[in-house]
Amino acid sequence: MSVTLHTAQTWLDEGRDVALATVVETWGSAPVPVGGHLIIDGTGDFAGSVSGGCVEAEVIARSEDVLASGKPELLEFGVANETAWGVGLACGGRIRVFVEKLG
């Protein structure tokens, strides 16, 4: 079991709400490969990584919705002309991140 998943289990055992974000697809240059994990609890504490920078901040923010609703989300991030100044990957790749509530 990875350190991140072990931490998720510890947080669940402590009674915390926990969301798990997993890199499920990459294209081109991506900072974290498929299978990378980020865990987020209901207070915004997090461990692990799915990308870094603005992308990671957006995944953490969107995890709040997943924790509140219990409904998973598939998020996609990349760089395109219309999104170059928004949340994107400076490395020119694309990633998809699946966010789900654990427990």
pLDDT the model gives residue 53:
76
Q: What percent of the chain has pLDDT over 70?
A: 85
Looking at residue 1, its pLDDT comes to: 64
Specify the pLDDT at position 21: 97
23-66 tens-digit pLDDT:
999 988 788 899 999 999 999 999 999 987 788 899 999 999 99
What is the distance in angstroms between the CA of the first residue and the CA of the last residue of the chain?
Answer: 17
With vertex at residue 49, the alpha carbon angle to CA 44 and CA 53, rounded to the nearest 5 degrees, is 80
pLDDT higher than 90, residue 18: yes
pLDDT at 84 over 70: no
The pLDDT of 94-98, averaged and rounded, is 93
Number of structural domains (the chain) is 1
Return d(Cα 73, Cα 64) in angstroms, integer.
11
CA dihedral 49, 55, 57, 63 (to 10 degrees): -80
Domain limits for position 54: 3-102
Question: Who wins on pLDDT, 61 or 2?
Answer: 61
Residue 37: its pLDDT value, please?
96
- Name the DSSP class of 46: E
